[in-house]
Amino acid sequence: MGSAGHLSLVLLLAFLLGLHHSSGFWIVNVVFPPPAKPKVPSNSTPPLIIVPGNLGNRLEAKIDKPSLVHWLCYKKTEKWFPLWIDLNMFIPIGVDCWIDNIRLAYNRTTRRSSNSPGVQVRVPGFGQTYSIEYLDYNRLAGYFYTMVEHLVNVGYIRNETVRGAPYDWRVAPNENAEYLAKLQNLVEEMYNQYQEPVYLVGHSMGCHYVLYFLNQQPQAWKDKYIRGFISLGAPWGGAVKVLKVLASGENDGLSMISNLKIREEQRMVTTNAWMLPLEGIWPSDHVFISTPNFNYTTKDYQRFFKDIDNEEGWYMLEDTKNLTSDLHPPGVEVWCMYGMGLPTAVTNIYDEVFPNGDPVDFVYADGDGTVDTFSMSLCKRWVGKQEKPVHITEFRGLFHLDMVFHEKVLNQIQDILEGKSDTPTEVDVRTDTEYRRSGV
């Protein structure tokens, strides 16, 4: 690594150290993840697959580009290089190169996305855990490391009994058929190897991917191959934060990149449109974006995209809005776990510079600091709607990203894997108190 690489590493470290808990939906905010505490080995280690959230695994690229956005950008590479997280994105000029490499081009006619011209993108480490444990090759941006290490401490084996299922999180599942086929093959492979059904663990948007995957499978297949679905912090009704991301951008604390600059990339991925709050679930009069000229609800998405000069976003929404919006029960036993008790923005208030400036104020409701409780608690609708049980645990005082780190969550996952399905209905992580009550 040359001097530019050392500078990028220093900037990455400074960035990660400077971020706050509230940046959790786009997972780049943990440096040196907490270590897993020693545990007594368990005699029960049923096979487990982890599906990460948005931005939750590495991407790699190889380029041979017909043109450049800046003369300092690489035009061609012989080898695959890190695209997410790419250290060059933390250098002022490098961010333009990075955006041009990671962006998608959306075709309104075919209703399909493609990589930037001359760019190949691949997802490294399918079936392994390294790509979801740390998002960078310097092992600074930790994600599932603490959870995987906890599982290893109780007897799991990396890449054998616990495996990762990373994917191209830029695109929604309607454009990711190859991934869904690989996930099905991985489930069947682990079942055949260990002769017992598989647990699926999802975090945030990854839970929507799991739900979509399960709803594509026949019930007989699920009865045979899937033991249960552990859902962590799922925005079942969409995430209000996405409207701010699409309108004015969200750098999640990365001061070296302006919100408007990162907005270029954020508008080009179809998963952001997929994660918008859902019409028919949210109250029709709930205002998500308030401006001096107009208040936007779920009924106003077409105007919203026109007003922010991002009409492709409307087509992306039309393509993805029905993928999981009916919240059809997954047909397997579910443990739905999420944080609560923290102020979470549910309305973004802008002044006259909308959409080219940050919100000047917010309206808050209960949530995990990133996703509101109303959205995450919609899994309660599945209770009594499927034969398999649905268990709900609310973690009071727990931030969105901490769902994959906190000892209380990790211990509950361990209990589930050991067959102790009678989980508490509420856990207050601030007072270390658990509550159990009948019904949901």
Helix (H, G, I), strand (E, B) or coil at 127: coil
| Residue 433, both tokens | 């108190």
Q: What pLDDT tens digit does each residue of the chain (440 aa) get?
A: 444 455 555 555 555 544 444 343 334 445 556 777 676 666 689 999 999 999 999 999 999 999 998 888 999 999 999 999 877 677 777 888 999 999 999 999 999 999 999 999 999 999 999 999 999 888 888 899 999 999 999 999 999 999 999 999 999 999 999 999 999 999 999 999 999 999 999 999 999 999 999 999 999 999 999 999 999 999 999 999 999 999 999 987 667 778 888 898 899 999 999 999 989 999 999 999 999 999 999 999 999 999 999 999 999 999 999 999 999 999 999 999 999 999 999 999 999 999 999 999 999 999 999 999 999 999 999 999 999 999 999 999 999 999 999 999 999 999 999 998 788 999 999 988 888 765 44
Amino acid (one-letter) located at 245 = V
Q: What is the pTM of this model?
A: 0.92
How are strands ordered across the β-sheet holding 81-84? 81-84, 59-63, 119-122
Amino acid (one-letter) located at 141 = A
pLDDT of residue 11: 54
Angstrom distance (rounded) from CA 27 to CA 135: 9
Q: Are 240 and 367 in contact (CB under 8 A)?
A: no
Composition of the chain by helix, strand, coil, percent to 5: 35, 20, 45
pLDDT of residue 432: 84
Which residue ranges form the domains of the chain, and what is each CATH number? 54-125 (no CATH), 165-438 (3.40.50.1820)
Q: Which of 109, 90, 107, 112 is nearest to 99 (CA)?
A: 90
389 class by beta-carbon count within 10 Å (0-12 exposed, 13-18 middle, 19+ buried): middle
pLDDT of residue 40: 63
Q: Which residues are catalytic?
A: 204, 368, 400
pLDDT of residue 26: 38
Q: Are 132 and 202 in contact (CB under 8 A)?
A: no
